[in-house]
Amino acid sequence: MFIRSKAPLRLGLAGGGTDVSPYSDLYGGAILNVTVSMYAYTTIEPTDDGKVVFEAPEKNLREEYDNAMEVDTDGYFILHKGVYNRIVRQFTHRPLSLRIASHVDAPAGSGMGTSSTLVVSILGAYVEWLKLPMGEYDIARLAYEIERVDLGLAGGKQDQYAATFGGFNFMEFKDDNVIVNPLRIRQSYADELNHNLVLYYTDTSHVSADIIKEQQKNVQAKKTSSIESMHKLKEQAIQMKEALLKGDVNHIGEILDFGWMHKKQMAKSISNPRIDAIYDAAKQAGATGGKISGAGGGGFMFFYCPGLTRYDVTEALRQFGGDVKRYDFAPEGLKTWTV
């Protein structure tokens, strides 16, 4: 028997960073994101040999342990181990024997929410296997707790909810509360946005936790420029929601540009000379705005390219190496099934 799951990665269109504590606790956050056709996949194979095996086949990585109530969270498979430990501690109250393999369509540090999406995918496979009584909010919340509390990894709240719910969502954050508002966007508006957004991988990665820690430190220190920038990004999320719902798609480039100018003020490591050069080249070629995906520092960027400008923008980006990635929006979130 095999238990499988997949959860979609996301693009953060607006409000990024306002879901991170302590800003979201003090002021409330708002984010608009959309999931895309790039996924984190998990397969669980129950076994009876008393072993717990973690695998990443495409990387030829494998770790094996005697099954226990808790596995040390070191090595490559920290996320897998965090989920295993929580499942055993909270639900089964006994060790499990299994082989678990995973794959993600984007590299770690790419700004697509890969780590959190992988946690959701792994957790979803356990929910399917053990028939755990958990809804979407329960899964997203538990994924957040495993990553941020159990494992102590810095980050926000949006990725777990995006991967679980899927589609276009306007999310609100205040203290421990998260409200996911699915957006009913006319298909023609979504298709036009899909056509005009150029997704570009910079062929670099970043350590999002370091950038987020700098952002958190700035809020704790009451650094005015950082906090005001986050206020503006929260406004940007509302602007983006109105533009998408009303079909004012060609205004989205300007909204992205507005957000990028303010996002760079949140922490100095969000941008760098290479990222600035890529952004400027895209705008000179016809993009009306864009941003880096995720915390910043590297990974994916995307640009709004009206009319036929996507072709000129794609050509302008060639000088920087990297790769333009074709994608579609993914209307559904976490999926699980048993073979």
Q: Distance of alpha carbon 52 from its chain centroid, rounded?
A: 27
Contact by Cβ (8 Å): 116, 208: no
Residues forming beta bridges with residue 54, ordered by sequence position: 63, 100
Would you call 325 helix, strand, or coil by DSSP? strand
Q: How far apart are CA 236 and CA 32, in angstroms?
A: 9
Residue with tokens 């705005």: 289
Structure tokens, 308:
């036929």
- H or E element that contains 160: helix 158-165
Q: Assess whether 176 carries a catalytic annotation.
A: no
Give dist(CA 50, CA 323) in Å, integer. 44
Active-site pick, 150, 159, 191, 210: 159
Tokens 């929580």, residue?
Answer: 86
Question: Which residues in 101-139 are b (16+ Cβ under 10 Å) and which e?
Answer: bbbbbbeebbbbbbbbbbbbbbbbbbbbbbebebeeeeb
Cα–Cα distance, 156 to 216 (Å, whole number): 10
Active-site positions read 159
